[in-house]
Structure 1
Amino acid sequence: MRGLWTVLAGALALAACAPQDGPQPAVTPTSEAAGYSRDMSAADRAACEQSGGTVQRRGRMGMEQCVHRFADAGKTCSDTSQCEGKCVASAGAVSPDKPGVGQCQADDKLYGCYAELRDGKAPAAICVD
């Protein structure tokens, strides 16, 4: 009897995941739905520009952000300690067990897939959206 209950519970769980008939409401989480605006306030925009930054839309949600460029952007590196930001390479371009080189990140808002180099090696890659 216990086996029957297990099978029945599994079937119910799968049924809950099955597509439903008829039109479904579009569920698209947005920053506005979460109570955030995609645009910076005038005061934040002014503070950004006063600090030497530029307002740019970044990330998957396209929110305005204050971006500061690094002076050593694009410089060849093999370790983050050689950069104002991180020493990065394209994910897959470097190996965790072989020495490699990268470039100092361009600015303080790093998005996309990349591997951070430490001692010439990239133990892992990450994707930031």
Structure 2
Amino acid sequence: MRRLYLLGLFLLGGCGAQAPVDIPSPLEIEKLEFEVDTSLPLVQQAYSIESESVCEKHNGRWQRVGRQQQYACILDTRDGGKACSSNKECEVGCVVANSEAVAGEHTTGICLENTDLFGCRAYVSNGVVEPTLCVD
């Protein structure tokens, strides 16, 4: 009988109430939806934004992009149009300024003006044109 009593106590001990979970209020949830981690690179910031209202709050444009025409937040760069010789010199990327440039050629590029990476572009790396990259 004592064994049954101890077994019952053991089993009932596992049925105790769970520690309360803090459930965020609707106001706290709304605040989280409007926050963007500005320590991330600009492209990651843009793609972490999932609503038009948050996009507009961060001075972006909510528009359809790519072949699938899904909405995304497009953020402008601060260095768009600046001369560059490599992606590391730009917030988003360094692309050829001259549409006549071919892969392997030495050239100077320009920094992309925004976070819209769709389309075909030739990037510049260490002053050299990379093969054209197309993003659908």
TM-score, normalised with respect to structure 2? 0.56
Structure 2 segments unaligned to the other structure (5+ residues) = 1-49
Runs of at least 5 residues in structure 1 that lack an aligned partner in the other structure: 1-42
| Residue 90 of structure 1: how far off its partner (Å) | 6.9
Q: For residue 76 of structure 1, what is the aligned residue in structure 2?
A: 83
**Going by fraction, where is helix more abundant, 1 or 2?**
2
Mapped to 1, the partners of 2:52 and 2:132 lie a distance apart of 32
Aligned-partner Cα distance in 1 for 2:97–2:64: 22
**Contact 1:90–1:113 (CA under 8 A) maintained in structure 2:** no
What are the within-5 Å matches in structure 2 for residues 43-82 of structure 1?
44-82=51-89
Tell me by how many angstroms 1:128 deviates: 1.0
Corresponding residue for residue 31 of structure 1: none
Separation in 2, partners of 1:77, 1:96: 16
Structure 1 pair 65–91 and aligned structure 2 pair: CA distance change class (3 A): farther
1:46-74 deviation per Cα after TM superposition (whole angstroms, max 9, x unaligned): 11111221111211222221110001111
2 CA distance for matches of 1:45 and 1:97? 40
Choose 1 or 2 for highest CA Rg: 2
CA apart distance, 1:92: 6.3
Corresponding position of 1:98: 105
Kept in 2, the 8 Å contact 1:91–1:115? The answer is no
Percent same amino acid among aligned pairs?
31
Name the TM-score, length of structure 1 as normaliser: 0.58
Distance 1:113 1:68 in 2: 19
Question: Which residue of structure 1 aligns with residue 17 of structure 2?
Answer: none
